[in-house]
Amino acid sequence: MQQVFRPRQPLTAAAGNGARMTGDNGRKTMERRVPKHRSVYILPNLFTTASLLSGFVGLLWAAKGNYEGCALAILFSALMDGLDGKVARLTNTASEFGVQYDSLADLVAFGVTPAFMIFQYSLQNFNRVGVAVAFLFTVCGALRLARFNVQSNNSASKRFFTGLPIPAAGCTLACIVLFVPFMPEFMLKGLNGIILICTVCIAFLMVSRIRYASFKELGFFKAHPFRTMVFVIALFALIVASPKLFGSLILFGYIFSGLVHTFVLLPRMSRAANRLAQTQGSSFAAGSPENREAAASSEEPPRPDGQ
């Protein structure tokens, strides 16, 4: 069979498809650039992987009955989850791949692991109802992440989240486990019912329209008033004094802060803005040329007859 000879394409033609021509001792070679959709940043994704690993280890600990260790693993996942975004912004290595990878890691670390932990810890006493509640928490976390990914590019304000973030929800279940030794004795009698109600409420808070502070605009590398530093140091001292107790109380306070902001502060600010708009509108209407002429004609004294 005769072999057909095909001339090789010139390098200039091949260099148009994402390739670059370089000289090496008088010979021309080609270096292909890695397509942007195939390249990833390693540093921020390492923190995301650490968060996913911690959530997976917590899942194994919960299966063995080590619920406190699982709760601490979930809190460590939250720390890694917060650092990956900070590192990506500081090093300018944010990417769409990192966003999607972070969402999948969050679903495992703060959706599946806390639901499994709280089921093994308490909800299994309710049989099928417990299974349904644990699954409700997981699916609401998935819906929360999907809604966030869709709305993040269209959201103008970064100061607030719409709905309770899934890391805060997972850490709340973890803090419930850590907070049980500090509960009064009368609450321990109905502990399983309290955990069931709290899990359902937290699940619905994730898919609600309640606004929670994101703290993204605070920044650790920005100048703040002196009282802010004093407040942060006081919180740090309380957490060091009793990490489980005051850490849980701070997180519970964050849960209630969204309710207060949405149902108390926002209506007050809305009413104040409406009153201000009405006041400015009435003053503008009173200062218009037509109203000034009408006021002048009404104040003009009557003229005598014959004039």
Best-predicted range by mean pLDDT (11-25, 30-44, 155-169, 251-265): 251-265
pLDDT tens readout for residues 124-156 = 999 999 999 999 999 999 999 999 888 876 655
Task: Report helix, strand or coil for 28.
Answer: strand
Cβ neighbours of 126 (radius 10 Å): 17
Q: Give the pLDDT confidence of 236-292 residue by residue, as tens digits.
A: 898 888 888 988 998 999 999 999 988 988 888 888 888 888 887 766 555 555 555
pLDDT at 247: 87
How far is it, in rounded angstroms, from Cα 273 to Cα 70? Answer: 47
Residue 62: pLDDT above 60?
Answer: yes
Q: Is the separation of the CB atoms in 43 and 87 below 8 Å?
A: yes
Angle at 16 between CA 15 and CA 22, to 5 degrees: 25
The larger pLDDT score, comparing residue 297 to residue 12, is at 297
Provide the pLDDT for residue 12: 44
Higher confidence at residue 183 or residue 6? 183
pLDDT at 294: 53
Would the pLDDT of 162 be above 60? yes
| Percent of the residues in the chain that have a pLDDT greater than 70, as a whole number | 76
Rounded Cα gap, residues 229 and 9, in angstroms: 66
Smallest CA-to-CA distance from 284 within 272, 273, 292 is with 292
Q: Give the pLDDT score at 26.
A: 46
> Structural domains in the chain?
39-262 (1.20.120.1760)
